[in-house]
Chains A and B, each alone.
Chain A
Amino acid sequence: MKAGYKQVKRMTTYMRLNHWVVAFSMIGAIVTGLYIGHPYYQSFIADPAVGKYVMAWNRWVHFMIAIIFDVSSIVIAYMYFFSRFEKPYKKIIPNAQNIKEFVEVIINLVTLNRRKNFDSTHADSFNTVFFLVFHLMLAWMLLTGLQLYVHGLASGLSSIGNWWPWMLHVATDWTIPVSNMLIGSASPTACIMDVRISHHITMWWIIAWIMFHVYYQVWRTIFWKEGDIGIVVSGSKFVKED
């Protein structure tokens, strides 16, 4: 460690593990999801059908990732409030201190680091809100995804019991009218295609979110010189000692 710098722990092992599980799941979900939305490569025509199960495998991977996401999201939602390491919800509450920090971080970004009037040792309000947007989008993907999934259980039966499609209907049927509103449909009657369109459009917003996220972390690392990019690997960053 360089003299005059102190090491600050920012992410626990679990948080880092979760980050990479989510990151790779995200890539997998996008690759398979784009195929489901529009199959962009062909199966070898000469193969017998039994030897290729391309769409089915894509859907299988997509759903498996969805389940990993589900579980991860439930844990993240819990940790928002009950983590012993840091409680992100405290940074989302719009009190004077958080709003000031939020604005200062944006000013720092647009003034290209010419002004930096906030403490960058801890998770800042701007990034926490930015991540909240991500978590909300992810929750929306999960709920709309489960709604699309339950269409295939139309008979009300499933291999793990009838409670499963029943629960999915109770938990996600409301996404149909909400999707209808979100995509700005002129129709008075919401339909399940609205959910599909919303699920697909939200994917593009999430990709845009990832682009900014990666860029911003690299930018911070270059201009703040506090080793921010290392947080997600080692769990720590380094800040100047006062």
Chain B
Amino acid sequence: MSDKIEGVKKLFTSKSARVETNKGDAYYEQLFKKCHERIESLKTNQPINNRLDIGDVLETHGIERRDFLKWASAVTGMLMLPSSFTPLVADAALLMNRAPVIWLELSDCAGNSEALLRSDGPKIDEIVLDVISLEFHETLQATAGHQAEKQLEDAMEHFKDKYLLFVEGAIPMANNGSFGTIGASGETMHDHLVRVSKHAAAIVAVGSCATFGGVPAASPNPTGAVGVMDVIKGKPLINIPACPANPANMVGVIIHYILTGQVPELDSLLRPKFAFGYRIHDNCERRAHFDAGEFVEEWGDEGAKNNFCLYKVGCKGPMTFNNCSIIRYNEGVNWPVGVGRGCIGCSEPDFWDKYAYERPMADANIKAPTGGVEKTVDEFGLGLLTAAGIGIGIHAAASMAAGKKEEVGE
């Protein structure tokens, strides 16, 4: 409740969702100078530990420099920077191994890590994420138990106030957080997160669970799961929701950080505007079918064969902000609507309960305002009308039988 009151307090202070795509020459010239200086000074630093050199890694994967520069110009466009920034972005990507990252894994399915690791033939996004200076990653590291804790301590001490903290997964809060513990000492996920975030330069919540609670927080949310922003206050926090978060957006945020030393411009849900400033619906390849009223009525019907709009089988593109309809997944290979199943709104809060039900909202099972009872919105509405109709009917019948009409003199 107090969170909601807090939300109401912000009523008139919330920033416009406006995305400034062109901030003027003067701004970009000054930014270019600043970024250039920063990149030059980072170049003089040695890579942290014995990290791979991204140039070598790209070469072993058979990716030519030309492809790498094409990728760099795409990232520049994604970050809404002028094309003159392309060499700087390429440099920033090559300096990825100078950014210390600690990656925590809390209550989730490890899907975001999977998204990075399991792509068939890693593309440049994934490779770049491979060579970041990943100091600690609970799922990937070989060490365990006290050894792992020691490693975390070392990383936190060594890169105090410098490391980027990536968090994947929700934080169970019920029963004092006892639904999830980590490590040999049985520390709760909540305490673990609070401890590690204390000396982070910035926190990046990756995936829907870490941002808004995601699937663990779905009704009835037995573990009391919440996102990072509901636990950690007073730290620079960037949310990269989606299930899984798009590696391109993670790279975008890291490159932005390396390039400018700052977090990118965020919307009211702390999502970077360069990625979440646009509505999926507006850039959807099936949008024309929506306007024409051509819908897939059921899976595999004539409409589905003709790539009609998926709105009636529950696509939530019109209510979801993300860039998947532009950049897609796996380096532009495809995305959910492209393969013929609608958007489930995975980058919005509460998506599992309020978006991912494969039918239009009007047909959805949502919690009735009284709580507990599940009714579809329209069943509730028809129930209301039935109640009103019965009330009116009873009153009308009673009036007919026993009502007193005013005397009218003829």
Cα distance A228–B265 in the bound complex, in angstroms: 60
Q: How many residues of A contact B (CB 8 A)?
A: 70
Give min CB distance, B403 to chain A, whole Å.
4
| B216: interface (CB < 8 Å) | no
A211 on the B face (CB < 8 A): yes
Indicate if the CB atoms of A55 and B291 lie closer than 8 Å: yes
Minimum C-beta distance from B60 to chain A (A): 41
Q: How far is the CA of A35 from the CA of B14 in the complex (A)?
A: 32
Contact present for A45 and B292 (CB under 8 Å): no
**What residue of chain B has the Cβ atom nearest to residue A120's Cβ?**
B406
Q: Which of A109, A182, A193, A219 contacts B350 (CB 8 A)?
A: A193
Which residues of the partner chain B approach A203 to less than 8 Å between Cβ atoms?
381
Question: B residues 349-373 with Cβ under 8 Å of A?
Answer: 349-350, 353-355, 360-363, 366-371
Q: Which residues of B contact A176 (CB under 8 A)?
A: 7
Q: Which of B213, B278, B302, B384 has the most CB of A within 10 A?
A: B384
Q: Does B26 contact A (CB under 8 A)?
A: no
Tell me the smallest distance from the CB of B352 to a CB of chain A, in Å: 10
Task: Report chain B residues within 8 Å CB of A135.
Answer: none
User: Within the assembled complex, what's the spacing in Å between the Cα atoms of A174 and B14?
Assistant: 8
A53 to B369, CA, bound (A): 36
Q: Tell me whether A24 is interfacial, beta carbon within 8 Å.
A: no
Inter-chain contact A177/B380, CB cutoff 8 Å: no
A170 interface hit (Cβ, 8 Å): yes
Neighbouring A residues of B353 by C-beta, 8 Å = 187
B404 touches A113 (CB 8 A): yes
| B219 in contact (CB, < 8 A) | yes
* Interface positions of B from 239 to 294, Cβ below 8 Å from A: 268-269, 277-279, 281-282, 288-294
A79 shortest CB reach to chain B, Å:
27
* Residue B166 CB within 8 A of the other chain: no
Kindly identify, within residues 203 to 218 of chain B, every residue whose CB is under 8 Å from any CB belonging to chain A. Answer: 212-213, 217
| A84 interface hit (Cβ, 8 Å) | no
Q: Which of B16, B281, B388, B409 contacts A211 (CB 8 A)?
A: B388
| Cβ–Cβ contact A177 & B297, under 8 A | no
Binding site secondary structure of chain A: helix
Once the chains bind, are B385 and A207 in contact (CB under 8 Å)? Answer: yes
Tell me whether B371 and A174 are in contact (CB under 8 A): no
Give, as a whole number of angstroms, the nearest-CB distance from B156 to chain A: 28
- Chain B residues lying within 8 Å of A130, measured Cβ to Cβ, are none
- The CA-CA distance from A225 to B277 in the complex, in Å, is 60
Contact with B along A56-74 (1 / 0, CB 8 A): 1010000000000000000
Cβ B10 vs Cβ A212 within 8 A: no
Report whether B361 and A186 are in contact in the complex, using a CB–CB cutoff of 8 Å.
no
User: How far is B20's CA from A49's CA once the two chains are assembled, in angstroms?
Assistant: 34
Which of A6-14, A93-101, A147-155, A229-237 lies on the face that meets chain B? Answer: A147-155
Binds A, one of B123-131, B147-155, B188-196, B394-402: B394-402
Q: What residues on B are CB-neighbors of A170 within 8 Å? A: 12, 16
B291 contacts A56, CB within 8 Å? Answer: yes
Residues of chain A lying within 8 A (CB to CB) of residue B277: 154-155
A23: chain B residues within 8 A (beta carbon): none
Q: CA separation between A39 and B270, bound complex, in Å?
A: 34
State which of B12, B297, B302, B348 has its C-beta within 8 Å of the C-beta of A193.
B348
A222 proximal to B (CB < 8 A): yes
Contacts of A21 in B (CB 8 A): none
**Does A183 lie within 8 Å of B399, measured CB to CB?**
no
Cβ-based interface call for A145 (8 A): no
Least CB separation from A207: chain B residue: B385
Select one of A43, A177, A204 contacting B385, CB under 8 A.
A204
Spot the interface stretch: B68-76, B98-106, B112-120, B311-319: B311-319
Q: Is B392 an interface residue (CB 8 A)?
A: yes
Cβ proximity bits A201-231 to B, threshold 8 Å, 1 near / 0 not: 1011101100110010001001111100000
A168 closest partner in B (C-beta): B16
Docked Cα-Cα span, A140 to B230, in Å, equals 29
Interface status of A180 (Cβ within 8 A of chain B): yes
Would you call B389 and A211 a contact (CB within 8 A)? yes
Residues of A within 8 A of B281 (CB): 152
B399 neighbours in A (Cβ, 8 Å): 112-113, 219, 222-223
User: Which residues from 320 to 364 on chain B have a C-beta closer than 8 Å to any C-beta of chain A?
Assistant: 321, 345, 348-350, 353-355, 360-363
Task: Give the CA-CA distance A38 to B318 in the complex, in Å.
Answer: 13
**Interchain CB contact (< 8 A) of A189 among B278, B316, B350:** B350
* Residue ID in chain B nearest A33 by CB atoms: B362
B residues in contact with A193, CB < 8 Å: 316, 319, 345, 348, 350, 354-355, 361
In the complex the two chains form, what is the Cα distance from A204 to B217 in whole Å?
Answer: 29
Given the known A-B contacts A174-B11, A184-B370, A188-B3, are A42 and B350 also in contact in the complex, defined by CB atoms under 8 Å?
no
With A152-B279, A203-B381 given, is the CB distance from A191 to B398 under 8 Å? no
- Report chain A residues within 8 Å CB of B226: 188
User: Please, how many angstroms separate the alpha-carbon atoms of A113 and B400 in the complex?
Assistant: 11
Minimal Cβ-Cβ distance residue in A for B20 = A156
Contact of A104 with B by CB under 8 A: no
A170-B16, A203-B381 given as contacts; is B349 within 8 A of A190 (CB)?
Answer: yes
Q: List 25 A-B contacts (CB under 8 A).
A: A37-B361, A38-B362, A45-B303, A52-B294, A154-B19, A154-B279, A155-B278, A156-B18, A162-B18, A169-B17, A173-B11, A174-B8, A176-B7, A177-B10, A187-B350, A188-B213, A188-B226, A190-B7, A190-B349, A204-B380, A204-B384, A208-B384, A211-B389, A215-B395, A223-B403
10 closest cross-chain pairs (CB), A and B:
A54-B293, A204-B381, A156-B18, A174-B11, A177-B7, A189-B349, A112-B403, A37-B362, A56-B291, A43-B293
Given contacts A113-B403, A193-B361, 7 further A-B contacts (CB under 8 A): A42-B297, A53-B292, A188-B3, A193-B355, A211-B389, A211-B392, A224-B406
